[in-house]
Homo-oligomer: A and B are copies of this chain.
Amino acid sequence: MPTIYDVAEAAGVSIATVSRVFSGRAPVTDASRERVLAAADALGYRPNRMAQALAGGRTKALGLVMPFTLSNPFYTRIAEALIAHGRQRGFEILFALAERTDPDSYIDAQKSLLDRQVQGLLIVSNTETAHLCREALPGDPPPMAAVGCLPERGLPLATVDEEDGGYRATRHLIELGHRRIAFLGLAGMPPRPLGREHGYLRAMEEAQVEAHAIDTPVRLQDGEQALDAVLRQVPDATAVFAQNDALAIGLLRALAERGIRAPGELSVAGFDDLPMSALTVPSLTTVRVPVDAIAVEAMRLLLDSGDNGCDRQVVIGPELVARESTGPPRGS
């Protein structure tokens, strides 16, 4: 690989000039620029980013800490949007996948990114984990923003309004005529992500009907277990609102297996609007998370904050997407 010395020699200038041409941040005559560019092109020169980072301190790289379960479509959508917007702003996004969802795994992942001298850190996780990541930051930390957690003081954050989303989904079911509506949500995660459930509870209270929140894991493969829990705990439920689309899709499958019609006997609503959610049978009513807008705001928080922005929070409103999996309650 040719180095900056090779280019300088070929172009008949000093390495400082070559550096100036490539960084674009210093005055160079057009003549010099052209000769340097021509020489670089001829040699196939590309600056060594390790050396640039070491000498300049700036890496033009941002770190993204995510759960290891890349196959979770919601995370990958966030990642795609973040990469796209980072690129537009001239930053490369470096991934670090947390091996598990516990805080230590996140902190390890964060450190590996810091070792690469990233200029900013994006954390996709729940609020507590993001907070712990923040505390684990070294003395002279790069800016950090959390993505998609619940709002909480002291952490710049771009997220969807989960409470409002939960409220909208529940209102939708209530307006269809449902009164026995169960919420299916996350158990055992410290802390429980409460936003969606809170929205559900508020809508139920407002409608003066009894709420039933059921603890269940929320993955694709947990549909059967969740359905069992519903049938046991709220046997006369006519609708369920699931914490996320993955669980809702698993639930749809479990219902089909038992011959329970959706929405005829049980309406199902989810949260996320995965690409898959429009294509299940029946297609899934859900709450669309504005992933793109979240990514834009997260980049803004990270890069445009100046000195003041360290505590800003941007909460973006979601949108209800009504599809086939919800309908009037049975017997109405």
Contact = CB atoms under 8 A, between A and B. Distances in A.
Interface string A254-279: 00100000000000000000011011
A11 B139 CA distance: 21
Contacts of A223: 279
Interface residues of A, number: 49
Contact of A70 (B47, B59, B76, B250): B76
B48 A117 contact: yes
A281 interface: yes
Contacts of A73: 71, 73
Contacts of A237: none
A89 interface: no
Nearest to A112: B92
Contact of A49 (B51, B70, B116): B116
B76 A138 contact: no
A249 B48 contact: no
A20 B274 CA distance: 49
A101 to B, nearest CB: 15
Contacts of A221: 275, 278-279
Nearest to A53: B50
A220 B279 CA distance: 8
A26 to B, nearest CB: 21
A275 B44 contact: no
Contacts of A53: 50
A294 B249 CA distance: 29
A59 B54 CA distance: 14
Interface stretch (A77-85, A184-192, A195-203): A77-85
A46 interface: yes
A115 B280 contact: no
A97 interface: yes
Nearest to A49: B115
A84 to B, nearest CB: 8
Given A138-B1, A140-B1, A281 B281 contact: yes
5 contacts: A1-B139, A70-B79, A71-B76, A220-B275, A253-B283
